Amino acid sequence: MANVVVVGAQWGDEGKGKIVDWLSEQADIVVRFQGGHNAGHTLVINGETYKLALLPSGVLRPSKLGVIGNGVVFDPQAFLDEVTRLKGQGVAISPENLRIAENVTLILPLHRELDALRESSNAGTAIGTTRRGIGPAYEDKVGRRAIRLMDLADLDALPHKIDRLLAHHNALRRGLGLEEFDGGVILKDLTALAPHLLPYAETVWRLLDLKRREGKRILFEGAQGALLDVDHGTYPYVTSSNTVAAQAATGSGLGPSAVGYVLGICKAYTTRVGQGPFPTELDNDIGRKIGERGREFGTNTGRPRRCGWFDAVLVRQAARTCGITGLALTKLDILDGFDTIEVCTGYMLDGKEIDHLPAGEGAQARVVPIYETIEGWKEPTANARSWADLPAQAIKYVRRVEELVGCPIALLSTSPEREDTILVQNPFEA
């Protein structure tokens, strides 16, 4: 029985939440391994809509254990707010069904303020972040000055750690002409949060190793998408963590041998939020039509997503950098009714044909997509639950995507509802 890693194969917003929720029925443990509460997942279950940001999607299933791994950056207030909201919808969240890595880095108000300041600046520092403090928190983590969850268990040592953090941040604030942060206020706030957070704290790497040895099935839930990876994405318009599948091991404390099947999630078209290159973007009526049909607005931010045709070059690239075993294709129904559909099969760059997105920012902006035209279909695919429910031309489109990406389709999603899913290959049994 393979453990399964779910990763986005585009720029995020591919529908990972629904797929993780669908797969979690077969899993014992669902683990978030990177990102923070900038990752919005919308799930529709029996007509009820649930919006998750920080919590693993598996928490919506009562018998499953959710885990927030060490690779996540953790906003305590956002966590408590999300738990309260979900409890209001009848979802029980407690240390019985959720554990948080004791060595997870905390997002503090100073991180959120710095993030927003950079995005609002006229100094060319804006990259389209969610202004939630994700990047600054990761900076402090690699700078070895972060406050971690375990630090709240030793309040006597916490003032020194806050001073170490503020030696950096207050120097920045002085340079920006801003008032310095008071370490005493941060200490007071963290002291008040400690009893609400520490019951969830866990030595996660040890817990997961024990569960794996017991034969429990583990589902690793990625956030964002592979094209937002800080190393392999469209840098600098990326997130501040590694979003590729290998991070499932690092961000949870399990070794690479614990990672089995890698399921890449991609839409039947392409979307992107924020700034950065987007070769197949449709800044026209077709793009707006796709956006309206697909309700392409950020779960957490409400920002409209940029829309374009399916880019097989980028998904193929993500399949290689993530080691994707199979694909889950979502939102096929949004393409219903188009006379023709374009698929990007390659790029032209400065007069030469290339088969990948180059790493350079300037080159990424200059690539021109090469399109293949595919006949559309008039019959609906929405709510289909078997191949027999799909129009023949829609099946041809799916098969062509498989060919171009070089990965088999394992799952097809035809609506936000949990049950509107066509299973081709079960990742847990592959």
User: How many Å apart are CA 222 and CA 56, to the nearest integer?
Assistant: 9
User: How many Å apart are CA 420 and CA 428, to the nearest integer?
Assistant: 19
List pLDDT tens digits, range 243-260: 999 999 999 999 898 888
Is the per-residue pLDDT at 126 higher than 80?
no
> Which residues participate in catalysis according to the annotation?
13, 41
Q: How confident is the model at residue 1 (pLDDT cuts 50, 70, 90)?
A: low
Predicted pLDDT of residue 70? 98
**Which string of DSSP letters, residue by residue, matches 193-204?**
HHHHHGGGEE-H
Q: Is 132 helix (H, G, I), strand (E, B) or coil?
A: coil
Q: Is residue 367 within 8 Å of residue 348, measured between CB atoms?
A: yes
List pLDDT tens digits, range 132-156: 899 999 999 999 999 999 999 999 9
Predicted pLDDT of residue 397? 97
Cα(first)–Cα(last) distance of the chain, in Å?
8
List pLDDT tens digits, range 181-237: 999 999 999 999 999 999 999 999 999 999 999 999 999 999 899 999 999 999 999
In this prediction, what percent of the chain has a pLDDT beyond 70? 97
Where are any strands of DSSP class E within 201-283?
A: 201-202, 218-221, 261-267, 270-272
List pLDDT tens digits, range 371-395: 999 999 999 999 999 999 999 999 9
Q: How many CB atoms lie within 10 A of CB 30?
A: 27
List pLDDT tens digits, range 258-294: 888 999 999 999 999 888 999 999 999 999 999 999 9
**Cβ-based neighbours of 202, under 8 Å, separated by 6 or more:** 67, 99, 100, 101, 102
Is the per-residue pLDDT at 59 higher than 60?
yes
Q: Is residue 248 within 8 Å of residue 72, measured between CB atoms?
A: no
pTM, rounded to two decimals:
0.92
Q: Which of 343, 361, 362 is nearest to 404 (CA)?
A: 343
Q: How confident is the model at residue 120 (pLDDT cuts 50, 70, 90)?
A: confident
CA distances from 318 to 57, 130, 324, 350 (A): 23, 23, 8, 23
Predicted pLDDT of residue 93? 95
